[in-house]
Structure 1
Amino acid sequence: MSLALIVNFATVLLLAPFSNWMTQRFGRKESTVTALIFGAAMYAILLVSHTHSAMFYLAMLFLGSLGAGVFNLMVWAFITDVIDNHEVLTGVREDGIVYGVNSFARKVAQAIAGGFGGFMLTFIGYVSSTSGGVTQSTQVVNRIYSLATGVPTACLALAALVLIFLYPLNKKRVMQNAETLEKIHTQNTEAEEKAEKKTED
């Protein structure tokens, strides 16, 4: 499990240098959806194969973590895209509100996730002990494996579906928004310069 945690963090570090290239070449939404589907497939293979090989498990975990890693990198850029899109649609830039809602949602999700693990372990019959010496049944061990591989499979696949069907900011839309905002900001700057010039005259 220690190695598994290292793998999860390492994938983000490995992907970081390539995030800009992925964005420019394919787009943030497109890259993320592809990575999420790939990651879900890797975890699904682990779920179905129910491997007893630690090396195979870690190798597949590394590949599966790449999907989540891309999402973890791109999600911060999604916030900026949402802010830009909101400005294009409404004419008002609401950086603080968007970041605030995102921060609140993350904190709520982290609180739920913190309790989810304990709840699921209780649900599958895990026997806890403060003094040690408890042996889990084979059934419980198999259920833990299924949770460790099944939950990421479902979550990554669900995230991909949400982006595909509910998130409209693909590469084309993001570029259109950038062009629109550039025109708006240029016009505003020119208007301000003219107003300042009139004031000086």
Structure 2
Amino acid sequence: MKLTIRERLCYGCGDLGSQFAYNLVTTYLMIFFTDILGLSSVAAGTIFLIATAFDAINDPLMGSIADHTKTKHGSYRPYMMAAAIPYGIFLALCFVAPEWSYSGKLAWAYVMYLLYVIFSTMFQMPYGSLSNVMTDDLKERTMLGAFRDWGANLAGFLLNMFAVTIITHFSASDQNMDKRGYLALGIIVAVCCVLFTSVAALGTKERIRPPKNTAKLTESLKSIGQNKPALCILFMVFFINSFVAFRSTFTTYYALYYLGDENMIPMILTTMYTLPLLGLLFVPKLIEMMGNKRMFIISGLCAILSGGLSLLAGTNTTLVVLSAIFGGLTLSGVFANIWGCMPNVADYGEWKTGIRAPGLIYGLATFAIKLAVALSTYLVGWLLDWGGYVGSLEVQADHTVQFIYMANGVLPILFGIIGIVMILPYNLTQEKMVKIKTELANMRKGREK
């Protein structure tokens, strides 16, 4: 079932909007909490960790609810429509710094971030499952994954290109990065988030009406345990996104305190998000030629090379940028591949267990992404505290600076190695999927009789 370019673009706008929010949070919210709101690095990291513990229930539950919903607008789009506006509002409020006591500021950060997480989940869970009911064509699903990832990386490119400029422009001194500048950036990104997520909700269509899902949540969760390809994807998502989240959050500290140049923040992160904008033009064809598994392994190797080059670079700008390029190649090959695989592992699960749960699978994948962000951010806070980082100091101690340099290289290497190990058991080939789809169609016909 072929889709129009317009609908592919509308679908890609969903990640364009949500990844504006995601990149803003992963790159700037931690340093906003520590350097602007005045929270300790451990307290700030704990906020992300607790929100993710909440998501352990929230994400799979939202995915399962969407799977069981039937309306004239479909199962997934109604939730996307309802979530878009509050999603943006609470994103902007995360970057408000009230003049309260430390406890009051901490409570504000917790409440605003948790509300942001709730509406983020309300959009992202149904959005992730939407491609499963837009088309059953394997190549179209891969193409939707590429459009989605192109939107995500365009958001990362634009945000990291202009974020520092926007913050400094709206800051009181027009040079330092203060609370006025961060709030201005938060509002601008929130507007983009609302606009593009609404386009995705309104510009797509649910064509496939899957059989009614009568399985209980516990039964659906049990079926995931029997779905080896889904488990491989979930673990790969976690470790590669740990690489992305760590780099996004830690680059700010690395550029400011090790490289000593705030302008290196957009240079590094924009480079990382520029490569996928070009690379994704070729990813669907590369996946078709090499298969999903080999593409995942290559992405993991690029993460390892990115970390290794960072260790070799020191303050050499050329090697720092080359490290960022391999980080971008990691993004190019992995996320379009993951989103293209999601409908396939859902079909495999239904074929193997008789239980259809695309929303739940996507919910678990998104939870893995958020868990990676939270644990990576908590890890950043813990590492900074362990390394002696003090947010109120403009110049950090020498041992802290060296610690930041080492962590920026070693952690990406570890994430890349573990990500490769996790994907090795994945065994869904194109040929196997054709066989599964044929048998699954016959199974569905049998259930309808």
After superposing the two structures, state which structure 1 stretch, 149-158 or 76-85, moved more: 76-85
> Cα deviations across residues 98-136 of structure 1 (Å, max 9, x unaligned)?
12222233233322233222221111112220xx5x322
Structure of higher CA gyration radius: 1
- 1:113 is aligned to 376
Choose which of 380, 401, 405 in structure 2 pairs with 1:145: 405
RMSD: 2.3
After superposing the two structures, state which structure 1 stretch, 146-155 or 74-83, moved more: 74-83
Question: Hey, what's the Cα distance between the residues in 1 that align with 2:306 and 2:373?
Answer: 24
Q: Which amino acid aligns with 2:270?
A: I
* 2:358 is the counterpart of 1:98: no
* 2:423 is the counterpart of 1:168: no
Matches within 5 A, 1:29-108: 29-47=293-311, 49-108=312-371
Q: Which runs of 5+ in 2 are unaligned?
A: 1-264
Question: Hey, what's the Cα distance between the residues in 2 that align with 1:59 and 1:50?
Answer: 9
Closer, same or farther in 2 for the Cα pair 1:108/1:42, shift >3 Å?
A: closer
Closer, same or farther in 2 for the Cα pair 1:184/1:135, shift >3 Å?
A: closer
Q: Counterpart of 1:17 in 2: which secondary structure?
A: coil
TM-score scaled by length of structure 1: 0.80
Q: Which runs of 5+ in 1 are unaligned?
A: 196-201
The answer to whether the 8 Å contact 2:310/2:409 transfers is: yes
The answer to whether the 8 Å contact 2:279/2:332 transfers is: yes
- 1:124 is aligned to 387
The answer to whether the 8 Å contact 1:124/1:143 transfers is: yes
User: Between Structure 1 and Structure 2, which shows a larger proportion of helix residues?
Assistant: 1
Choose which of 263, 266, 271 in structure 2 pairs with 1:2: 266
Question: Hey, what's the Cα distance between the residues in 1 that align with 2:369 and 2:323?
Answer: 27
Deviation at residue 20 of structure 1 after TM alignment: 0.8
TM-score scaled by length of structure 2: 0.38
Deviation at residue 33 of structure 1 after TM alignment: 0.6
- RCO higher in structure (CA 8 A, sep ≥6): 1
Question: Hey, what's the Cα distance between the residues in 2 that align with 1:141 and 1:38?
Answer: 25
> Cα deviations across residues 143-174 of structure 1 (Å, max 9, x unaligned)?
1111112111111121111111xx42343xx4
Question: Hey, what's the Cα distance between the residues in 1 that align with 2:315 and 2:403?
Answer: 14
- 1:180 is aligned to 436
Deviation at residue 80 of structure 1 after TM alignment: 1.9
Question: Hey, what's the Cα distance between the residues in 1 that align with 2:321 and 2:420?
Answer: 23
Closer, same or farther in 2 for the Cα pair 1:176/1:97, shift >3 Å?
A: same
- 2:191 is aligned to none
* 2:278 is the counterpart of 1:14: yes
Closer, same or farther in 2 for the Cα pair 1:89/1:72, shift >3 Å?
A: same
- 1:24 is aligned to 288
Aligned-residue sequence identity (percent) comes to 19
